[in-house]
Each structure stands twice: as C-alpha cells, then as structure tokens.
C-alpha cells in the first residue's frame, strides 16, 4: 500500500511538470490505474462485499459531483 501511495505522489509530481499533451495523458492513465489498485486494496483491507463496494463507489461519485457542480 505504501509503495502505491508513493507511486501516486510521484506520478502527480510528474504530471505537474509534464509539458507535452501525450505525456500528460499517459501520466493521467497511470494515476487512474494506481488509484484503482489503491481502492482495491482498501476494499480488501475492510473486507467489503461487491454490494458494499458499489455503495462506496456510488457515494464517491455523488460527492465528486456535488463538489464540481456546487
């Protein structure tokens, strides 16, 4: 888990420094993949069922939309 978080931090630093659109896109994809890996580890850590994972994801989307549109 720590290695994934450190990777995420490094990827965000690289994204902030990236100048080329292609590089930014590649880094964003790596960030998304790393984020999914972290999420999966957290779900396993808490022993969440598929139904509970769906609830967590739906709530996260709802919260993100509230932030974006308010």
Q: Please tell me whether the overall predicted TM-score, pTM, comes out greater than 0.85 for this model.
A: no
Q: How crowded is residue 4: how many other Cβ atoms within 10 Å of its Cβ?
A: 14
The range of the structural domain enclosing residue 12 comes to 2-69
Cβ of 12: how many Cβ atoms within 10 Å? 13
| Per-residue confidence in pLDDT tens, the chain, 70 aa | 899 999 999 999 999 999 999 999 999 999 999 999 999 999 999 999 999 999 999 988 877 777 777 7
> Which of 38, 43, 42, 16 is CA-nearest to residue 28?
16
**Number of domains the chain contains:** 1
- 20 DSSP assignment: S
Q: Which pLDDT belongs to residue 65?
A: 73
At residue 34, the pLDDT reads: 97
b (16+ CB within 10 A) / e for 32-65: eebeeeeeeeebeeeeeeeeeeeeeeeeeeeeee
């Amino acid at each position: 888990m720590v290695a994934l978080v450190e990777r995420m931090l490094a990827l965000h630093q690289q994204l902030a420094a990236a100048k080329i659109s292609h590089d930014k896109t590649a880094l964003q994809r790596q960030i998304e993949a790393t984020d999914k890996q972290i999420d999966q580890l957290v779900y396993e850590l808490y022993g969440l069922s598929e139904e509970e994972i769906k609830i967590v994801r739906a709530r996260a989307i709802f919260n993100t939309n509230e932030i974006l549109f308010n």
